[in-house]
Amino acid sequence: MPLFSHRSSASSGSAGSAPLPSFYSAKPVKPSKPFSAFSSTRIPWPILVFSLLCLLIGLAGTLFALSAIRRNQPLPIFRCGTSEDTFRSFYSSSDSGKLGGDSNKGLVDRPKLLGFVGIQTGFESGERRSALRSTWFPSDPDGLLRLEQATGLGFRFVIGKSKDVKKMTMLEKEIEKYRDFMLIDVEEEYLKLPYKTLAFFKAAFKLFEADYYVKADDDIYLRPDRLATLLAKERSYSMTYIGCMKKGPVITDPKLKWYEKSGHLIGNEYFLHAYGPIYVLSAEVVASLAAARNDSLRMFNNEDVTIGSWMLAMNVHHEDNRAICDPRCTPTSIAVWDIPRCSGLCNPASKLKELHKIGMCSKSPTLPPDDI
């Protein structure tokens, strides 16, 4: 017999039986609602709204992450402090194999070159840059790369910054189109050219591993092939300063051009130094400049005099070469400009194009090193 059993309904309904508990009823009972664990506690609507927002944010984040993965990698910027090489940034994003190395690995370190040439330019020199790009300076990144591979020389326009928003906006558009600039962190101002030159050499040394560093202005006609031949020559001096050397009287009259405020420190005549439109410093010389504190070097009014004074202090070898200050195109000319009438070409925007049409300037052959 089971431990528990129910009595028959007949006996339960007899008169002598005990009354039924109150929760029993003879009336039919309506079925109760199904039990739910949440029936007694409702979720407040603010929490529900917050949960939905979190879900939407999570979905949006996931979609953004997926789109970022599928998108092209952001353009790497090759900078030294606040200096930037826009050319390498362009090639690293478009076709890094052209510059050597796997992916971006070969682009991070300083590329090895025979020489790096910084064409000093300014915000008012748009016509000069246009004329250069239509003559000896390549007009597109591929042409600039081919020139570098053919000569071992890297070329960039070097420019500082301006507080003028309009000028900076125009420069950004030009950079986007040509990708041939080195940007340096110095205010672009004529009276501060010595500071710009020092900033250029420091940035160039940290961005490029070159045997020689060339400072050139944007108003000269240059033969890159012959410049490469000059730099490739064997030299017995590791600290070399190549240029078209000169001396001359110190100008102490403020009303005259080339006035030198600190002329009393120099005397009546300048020491031997190179003309400013183009000169070359060897790697060891530039390494010393790059290591110097900005305020440790004396700055004269004139940039070429300033560089010349540093060269005296560093005991470099002065190499005078008249082929880089030729007033006309010859079979041996490397740089052509209107010496001594102008510090560069007079009316350079038009003169550059005129010279380029002359076969002696643009089409004459490169000479062997002994002839330069």
CB 311 within 8 A of CB 238: no
At residue 107 the predicted structure's pLDDT band, cuts being 50, 70 and 90, is: low
Q: Residue 296: phi, psi to the nearest 5? A: -95, -10
**Interval 252-269 mean pLDDT:** 90
* 297 inside domain: yes
Of the listed ranges 76-85, 134-143, 287-296, 306-315, the one predicted with least confidence: 76-85
- 299 CB contacts (<8 Å, ≥6 apart)? 194, 195, 306
Selected residue with higher pLDDT from 315 and 211: 211
In the chain, % of residues over pLDDT 90: 65
Amino acid at 304: D
Task: Answer yes or no: is 119 within a domain.
Answer: yes
Helix axes 303-314, 193-207, angle to 10 degrees: 60
Q: Say whether pLDDT at 352 is over 90.
A: yes
Which pair of structure tokens corresponds to residue 57? 């944010």
Give mean pLDDT, residues 213-230: 98
How high is the pLDDT of residue 163?
A: 94
104 assigned to some structural domain = no
d(CA 367, CA 233): 12
* Helix extents (H) in the chain: 9-12, 45-70, 86-94, 105-108, 126-133, 141-151, 165-178, 193-207, 224-231, 283-291, 303-314, 348-356, 359-362
- Confidence label for 22 from pLDDT (cuts 50, 70 and 90): very low
What average pLDDT does this structure show over 215-233? Answer: 98
Q: Which residue did the predictor score with more confidence, 25 or 366?
A: 366
Other residues' Cβ atoms within 10 Å of the Cβ of residue 74? 8
CATH number at residue 304: 3.90.550.50
Taking the model in full, what pTM does it have? 0.77
By C-alpha distance, which of 288, 290, 299 is closest to 184?
Answer: 290
Mean pLDDT of 353-361: 97
Region 187-198: what's the mean pLDDT?
93
Quick one: 254 exposed, middle or buried, by C-beta within 10 A (0-12, 13-18, 19+)? exposed
Provide the b/e sequence for 286-311 (b: ≥16 CB within 10 Å): bebbbeeeeeeeebbbbbbbbbbbbb
Lowest mean pLDDT among 141-155, 229-243, 290-304: 290-304
Sorting pLDDT into bands at 50, 70 and 90, what band is 9?
A: very low
Residue 42 is assigned to a structural domain of this protein? no
Residue 370 maps to a domain? no
Phi/psi at 324 (5° precision): -100, 10
pLDDT, residue 221, reads 98
pLDDT for the residue 68 = 55
Calculate mean pLDDT across residues 213-238. Answer: 97
pLDDT of residue 140: 95
Range of the domain at 315: 84-88+111-246+275-361
Q: So what's the pLDDT on residue 58?
A: 74
DSSP 139: S
Calculate mean pLDDT across residues 12-31: 44
Phi and psi at residue 281, to the nearest 5°? -120, 140
- Evaluate whether 246 touches 272 at the Cβ level (below 8 Å): yes
Is residue 59 included in any domain, yes or no?
Answer: no
Distances (CA, A) of 223 to 118, 119, 325, 364: 14, 13, 12, 10
Please state, rounded to an integer, the average pLDDT across all residues of the chain: 84
Q: Please write the tens of the pLDDT for every residue from 140-156.
A: 999 999 999 999 999 99
Between 21 and 260, whose confidence is greater?
Answer: 260
Calculate the CA dihedral of residues 306, 215, 152, 98 and round it to 10 degrees. Answer: 120
Residue 29, in any domain of the structure: no
Structural domain total, the chain: 1
pLDDT at 105: 45
Task: Examine residue 178 and state whether it is found in any structural domain, yes or no.
Answer: yes
Q: Can you give the pLDDT at residue 218?
A: 98
- The pLDDT of residue 88 is 84
Answer whether residue 17 shows pLDDT above 80: no
pLDDT score of 356? 98
**304 pLDDT higher than 80:** yes
Distance of CA 43 to the CA centre of its chain: 57
The pLDDT tens digits of the residues spanning 53-63 come to 777 777 777 77
